Structures are given as structure tokens and as C-alpha cells.
């Protein structure tokens, strides 16, 4: 089995190291000082489950890698549309693309029976740009329940969780999913193949849709948000609105708001990926988390005033990050 990890950052390098440990031929695609360290010394994983090292191949040029059996995407979803040229050299006739992303994926309504079958969510797949880069028939969904961070170039700190749930958009337990799952398990990770991965998507989104933007707006950790009376109530309201949208598109997550909130609180002084991006001056991953749910609310008639308000403020914050600095400023 040949696997390319495109975007071998905190999650991608962790998965790549685990697969390499299982005997898979792994190619990490990265850049900058992180790439140079991967090429020189490989990946070092620091984990409460035991530290380990791996020496998979590493490059910044997918052409050097060539066609593989699976492309594991460690990129943020807001980079997918531009990833086509990087992905194309990695594809053969049956290559699967495993998208480890937060939020609502571009393939969500692909092969989903019901009134919205094959509906394109414009906020995550504007004009079909993501589908063009990542063809729907190649898509394998992935919901990540692991927390990692790059401690230094080439060094991945694994904080908690080893579960990477995967699944086909059509709900089948396909041979390609089973094969990838077995390799992940052999590398020491959990990788269940789910017939209804959309359920997992909404369960995780219940937390992401609230904690991620609030963490950026308040510069707060997960436990800080959960233990502050005002933000705790805000999170619960956002979760209730999210569940309403989920139910209107045919999914009923079997987890209570209280349990989901408690699970987030147990992560402790953890900075969400959105807060980490803010601190690094990177664009915030809001389209798949908030904009997509607002679009689905418009589609289904759901009332989500709190989600709309948080989305508006977070989007304004994001505009400040992505905008070019003004040529001159005027005193006020």
C-alpha cells in the first residue's frame, strides 16, 4: 500500500508516522523547516501512550511521489479548492482521497437519499471548485478525534485521542475503507469504518461550531469557555441550534448537549485549531464550521439567531486577518 499525506502537519505527520510503523509506504508532503527536519531526522512523536519515531519519505513535490493508493489530506478545508495541482500527480484510477476535516464536507449530500440529494453546499464548494479538485467518487470521509500539535519542526506532540472514523458517502463498508482501517489499526490507531459517518460529523461539529469561534473571539481555552457561566450558556444555545439543523437534513445525533459539553471541558487548557490559526495570523476555517450550517438553515428553514450572530462577528475577525494592510491610517 502506498499513501501520500498531503499537508503533513500536526495530524498528517502523526498519521503518516503511525502508518509507516505499520509497514505502509508513506510519503509526507510538507514544506519549510518542518520538511527539512522530516527529511533529515524523520518524525518524532511524543505521546502519553509512548514516544516513537518513524522515517517515512518526505518531499515538497508530489510529482516525486507519483500515484498512490490513498491520499490523506491533512490540509485545512479552506485550502482544498487550491490543492488540485498538488493532488493530480498522486492519483491513479482508483486512488481514494481521505479528507480529515472539521465541519461539513463538500461531499455531504453526495449519494444521500432524500430531498437534498446531490445538493452542492456553496459555502464549502463554491462553484464546484472543491469537487473539481477532489472528485466525489474518490472521497472517503474522516472524522478526527485526536489532538496533536507541532512542538517543533519534525516533532509532533500527541495530546489525546487516537480515533479516526472513516466512511463512504454512500454508507457502504467498502474494501478500500477496510484496507485503510486495517493499516491504521496496525499502526496503533483506532479507525472504525462507519456506515453513517454523517452522524459522527454532526457530533463533532456540535463542539467545533461553538468552541472554535468563541475561542478565537475570547482568546480562551476549551475549559475556560466551558467553565465561564456566560459562554457555557452560549455554547449550549449554539449546540441546540446545530442539532435542529442536523435533524432537518435527516441526522439525529444520539448524544446529549450536556455530554458533548462535558467531553469538551475534559480536554482542559487546550487551544482550538481556530485559536491557534488566529495566533499565527492564518485565515480561520469558518466556512465548513459556521457558514455551511447557516446555509443549511436557509435551505431548511431553521431558526438559528445565535449561530448567525457568532458567524457574523467571527467572519469580521477573519476579514481583518485576510485583508491587506491599509496603505495609510488616519488618527481618530
From the options 3.40.190.10, 3.40.50.1260, 3.40.50.1370, 3.40.50.720, give the CATH code of 2-195: 3.40.50.720
For 225-251, the pLDDT digits (tens) are 999 999 999 999 999 999 999 999 999
Least confident of 81-85, 98-102, 188-192, 326-330: 326-330
Q: So which residues are the catalytic ones?
A: 204
Domains 2-195 and 198-322 are alike in CATH topology: no
For 68-93, the pLDDT digits (tens) are 999 999 999 999 999 999 999 999 99
Helix, coil or strand: residue 83: helix
* C-beta atoms surrounding 141 within 10 Å: 23
What distance in Å separates the CA atoms of residue 34 and residue 40, rounded to the nearest whole number?
A: 10
For 174-185, the pLDDT digits (tens) are 999 999 999 999
Q: What is the mean pLDDT of residues 131-137?
A: 97
Confidence of residue 325 (pLDDT cuts 50, 70, 90): low
What distance in Å separates the CA atoms of residue 215 and residue 244, rounded to the nearest whole number?
A: 23
Residue 215 has pLDDT above 70, yes or no: yes
Q: What is the DSSP letter of 126?
A: G
Which residues, in sequence order, are bridge partners of residue 2?
A: 25
The full set of domain ranges for the chain reads 2-195, 198-322
Residue 326 has pLDDT above 70, yes or no: no
Q: What is the mean pLDDT of residues 190-198?
A: 97
**Sequence-ordered alpha helix ranges (H) in the chain:** 10-21, 32-41, 62-65, 84-87, 129-133, 175-186, 197-218, 222-227, 229-248, 257-265, 273-279, 292-300, 305-322
Q: What is the mean pLDDT of residues 279-306?
A: 96
Confidence of residue 265 (pLDDT cuts 50, 70, 90): confident
What distance in Å separates the CA atoms of residue 232 and residue 237, rounded to the nearest whole number?
A: 9
From the options 3.40.50.150, 3.20.20.70, 3.40.50.620, 1.10.1040.10, give the CATH code of 198-322: 1.10.1040.10
Residue 327 has pLDDT above 70, yes or no: no
Mean residue pLDDT of the chain comes to 94
What distance in Å separates the CA atoms of residue 121 and residue 131, rounded to the nearest whole number?
A: 11
The model's pTM is 0.92
What distance in Å separates the CA atoms of residue 275 and residue 223, rounded to the nearest whole number?
A: 14
Amino acid at each position: 500500500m502506498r499513501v501520500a499525506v498531503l499537508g503533513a502537519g500536526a495530524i498528517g505527520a502523526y498519521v503518516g508516522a503511525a502508518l509507516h510503523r505499520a509497514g505502509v509506504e508513506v510519503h509526507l508532503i510538507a514544506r519549510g523547516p518542518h520538511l527539512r527536519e522530516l527529511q533529515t531526522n524523520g518524525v518524532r512523536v511524543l505521546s502519553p501512550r509512548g514516544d516513537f519515531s518513524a522515517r517515512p519519505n518526505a518531499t515538497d513535490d508530489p510529482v516525486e511521489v507519483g500515484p498512490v493508493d490513498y491520499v490523506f489530506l491533512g490540509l485545512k478545508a479552506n485550502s482544498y479548492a487550491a490543492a488540485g495541482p498538488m493532488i493530480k500527480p498522486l492519483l491513479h484510477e482508483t486512488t481514494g482521497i481521505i479528507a480529515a476535516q472539521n465541519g461539513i464536507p463538500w461531499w455531504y449530500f453526495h449519494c444521500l437519499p432524500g430531498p437534498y440529494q446531490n445538493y452542492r453546499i456553496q459555502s464549502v464548494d463554491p462553484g464546484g471548485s472543491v469537487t473539481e479538485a477532489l472528485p466525489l467518487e474518490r472521497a472517503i470521509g474522516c472524522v478526527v478525534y485526536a489532538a496533536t500539535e507541532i512542538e517543533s519542526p519534525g516533532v509532533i506532540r500527541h495530546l489525546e485521542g487516537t480515533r479516526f472514523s472513516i466512511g463512504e458517502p454512500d454508507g457502504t463498508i467498502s474494501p478500500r475503507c477496510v484496507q485503510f482501517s486495517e493499516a491504521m489499526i496496525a499502526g496503533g490507531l483506532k479507525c472504525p469504518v462507519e456506515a453513517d459517518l454523517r452522524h459522527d460529523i454532526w457530533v463533532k461539529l456540535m463542539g467545533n461550531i461553538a468552541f472554535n469561534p468563541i475561542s478565537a473571539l475570547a482568546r480562551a481555552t476549551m475549559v475556560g469557555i466551558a467553565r465561564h457561566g456566560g459562554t457555557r450558556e452560549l455554547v449550549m444555545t449554539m449546540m441546540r441550534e446545530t442539532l435542529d439543523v442536523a435533524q432537518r437534513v435527516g441526522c439525529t445525533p444520539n448524544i446529549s448537549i450536556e455530554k458533548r459539553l462535558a467531553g469538551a471541558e475534559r480536554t482542559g487548557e487546550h487551544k482550538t485549531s481556530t485559536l491557534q490559526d488566529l495566533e499565527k495570523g492564518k485565515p480561520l476555517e469558518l466556512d465548513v464550521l459556521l457558514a455551511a450550517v447557516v446555509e443549511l438553515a436557509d435551505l431548511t428553514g431553521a431558526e438559528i439567531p445565535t449561530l448567525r450572530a457568532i458567524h457574523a462577528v467571527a467572519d469580521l475577525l477573519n476579514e481583518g486577518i485576510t485583508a491587506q494592510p491599509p496603505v495609510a491610517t488616519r488618527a481618530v
